[in-house]
Structure 1
Amino acid sequence: MRTLLLGLLVGLIALSASAQPVPRWMTLPPTPTLPLATSSGRAPVNGILIWYATFGSGPPVLLLHGGLANADYWGHQVPTLARSHRVIVMDSRGHGRSTRDNRPYGYTLMASDVIGLMDFLGVPQAAVVGWSDGAIIGLSLAMSYPARISRLFAFAANSDPSGVKDVDKSPVFGAFIARAEKEYEALSATPKEYKRFVAEISTMWATQPNWTAADLAGIKVRTWIVDADHDEAIKRENTEFMAREIPNAGLLLQPEVSHFSMLQAPRQFGDDVARFLERKWD
């Protein structure tokens, strides 16, 4: 009898466990779509064409997406931010609807693309919100073009390759890479070159950036270093290192999300960005 009751109890526990919802940091919600743009097009920048779109009016804020992705990933945040800002999104070179040339991918080069787009749009200065590679591009901008960046919200960046985890065993990251292939095929001018694209981006990830504490200490742009408490790609110690070394930087950890926070908890991510953009410093 005791054996039977124990078996029933184990079965009930297993059934209860299986009924528990999947934690949101273990999900990859669908890629959103962007709302109707105020303007959009392809800007001639650095010998390539950078796709961009703008929304709303007010102080400019530029949203920079992560590696392998495209500007559509900001679809949840754009409508809210556009109520009070001129929101600019762009596809990084070789990503989404933007073209590329034969130069190797690099954060310095992609930062110069951002400045080229700002020049094309007549934007002398903008706040930057970056995710992953976009956050690294934002840090590069803060170092090389500080007068053009009013403030920087850097989500899920790393300062050097040692700050990245092995994501090969992450089911969420694996699902993202598979999804990115379909999106690349649908948007890119070179839809059959995804494997080459991934290989070249992976080379960049393995070798860049290479910023020291002294490099980070030179950043004068108001910066928040932001990450997820369950980020499967970025080591927490590297996040804390950057926040510690950048003068007066803020450190924010978003709860119950991963590297894809803007999809998993869009309102939370958007509220954090809005709070940062509204932040008053003495």
Structure 2
Amino acid sequence: MNRLLAAALLCTALSMAQAAERWETLPATPPVTTTSKSGYLDVNGTKLFYRVVGQGSPVVLLHGGLANSDYWGNQVKVLAPHHTVILLDSRGHGRSGRDAQAYGYDLMADDVVALLDRLKIKKADVVGWSDGAILGLDLAIRHPERVGKIFAFAANSTTDGVIAGVEKNPTFAAYIDRAGQEYKKLSPTPDKYDEFVEQISHMWASQPSWSDADLKKIKTPVLIVDGDHDEAIKRAHTEYLAATIPGAGLAILPNASHFAFMQAPDDFNAIMLNFLGQK
């Protein structure tokens, strides 16, 4: 019996160790606690929620699909002493509203430009995660005069760069559920999450769809970054982006996934700060 009990305890310990792999976890959303100026601005037919934190050269933080700007709490803390950090909830996300226009990366990138115009910021570096990273690349292609460096974490340039069935991955499924709970708390339309997901899914089904020629138009400095266990983006696609965008760098974070900025904030922040510099 003692041997059986010992074996059972060993199996339990091994299971717990396996479950505790960093890349399988979804840490709590790290809210932005640094003092900030916040508000709403009318942009391209809707009201966008934004925050401005810190001082120095401007950096825009763009969150992933279904999320909101709170997810950048770990990054704001280290950026604000050296940069003016601009955060926004993308249209239809978080606290921001939306109009009847169909979701599209070009439209959401134009929202960023319009917000910068309203804040009288001529040019800014961009740190983006997932959809936010795609927006950063969109800005570099279509509005190169408005962006400096682009830190693109977990981006894709075509739909086949996404791993099929990612929504069934346990960590990613937990994220979708959490995003829904946060939407209910923050959104001006709290009972419309399922409708929101359905509408933005139409965008994901066909966008982005950039060619090699599109990516080769990018002249601004770009760092392509991902976790080595990303549930959503194929590693080969990440490497393709870095190889195709002129002069782009590549950084792969160990033992981390699509949520590395929360799972491994020290590693993520070190690479981010080194790339952006302290200006």
Say which SS state the counterpart of residue 115 (structure 2) adopts. helix
Say which SS state the counterpart of residue 129 (structure 1) adopts. strand
Aligned match for 2:17, one of 2, 12, 20:
20
1:203 corresponds to: 202
Say which SS state the counterpart of residue 76 (structure 1) adopts. helix
2:58 corresponds to: 60
Residues 193, 8 of structure 1: alpha-carbon distance in 2 compared, 3 angstrom cutoff:
closer
Give, in whole Å, the separation in 1 of the partners of 2:193 and 2:15: 37
Say which SS state the counterpart of residue 168 (structure 1) adopts. helix
Aligned match for 2:69, one of 71, 74, 77:
71
**Quick check: 2:83–2:278 contact (8 Å CA) kept in 1?**
no
The more displaced of 80-89 and 38-47 is: 38-47
Give, in whole Å, the separation in 2 of the partners of 1:44 and 1:12: 59
Alignment of 1:129-140 (within 5 A): 129-140=127-138
**Structure 1 position 146, deviation (Å):** 0.4
Paired AA for residue 20 in structure 1: A
Say which SS state the counterpart of residue 111 (structure 1) adopts. helix
Point out 4+ residue stretches in structure 1 off by more than 3 angstroms.
4-13
**Structure 1 position 16, deviation (Å):** 3.8
**Quick check: 2:34–2:76 contact (8 Å CA) kept in 1?**
no
**Structure 1 position 259, deviation (Å):** 0.4
**Quick check: 2:34–2:77 contact (8 Å CA) kept in 1?**
no
2:37 corresponds to: 39
Aligned match for 2:93, one of 75, 92, 95:
95
Percent same amino acid among aligned pairs?
52
Alignment of 1:1-282 (within 5 A): 10-11=7-8, 13-20=10-17, 22-165=20-163, 166-278=165-277
Give, in whole Å, the separation in 1 of the partners of 2:104 and 2:182: 22
Paired AA for residue 155 in structure 2: A
TM (norm. structure 2) is 0.95
Say which SS state the counterpart of residue 77 (structure 1) adopts. helix
**Structure 1 position 202, deviation (Å):** 1.2
Structure 2 gap ranges (5+): none
**Structure 1 position 12, deviation (Å):** 5.9
**Quick check: 2:152–2:222 contact (8 Å CA) kept in 1?**
yes
**Structure 1 position 79, deviation (Å):** 1.3
Give, in whole Å, the separation in 2 of the partners of 1:14 and 1:262: 31
**Quick check: 1:37–1:53 contact (8 Å CA) kept in 2?**
no
The more displaced of 195-204 and 34-43 is: 34-43
Aligned residue pairs: how many? 277
The more displaced of 235-244 and 7-16 is: 7-16
TM (norm. structure 1) is 0.94
**Quick check: 1:34–1:75 contact (8 Å CA) kept in 2?**
yes
The more displaced of 268-277 and 151-160 is: 268-277
**Structure 1 position 10, deviation (Å):** 5.0
Paired AA for residue 52 in structure 2: T
Structure possessing the higher radius of gyration over alpha carbons? 1
RMSD: 1.8
Give, in whole Å, the separation in 2 of the partners of 1:278 and 1:76: 17
Structure 1 gap ranges (5+): none
Give, in whole Å, the separation in 2 of the partners of 1:142 and 1:210: 15
Give, in whole Å, the separation in 1 of the partners of 2:230 and 2:16: 24
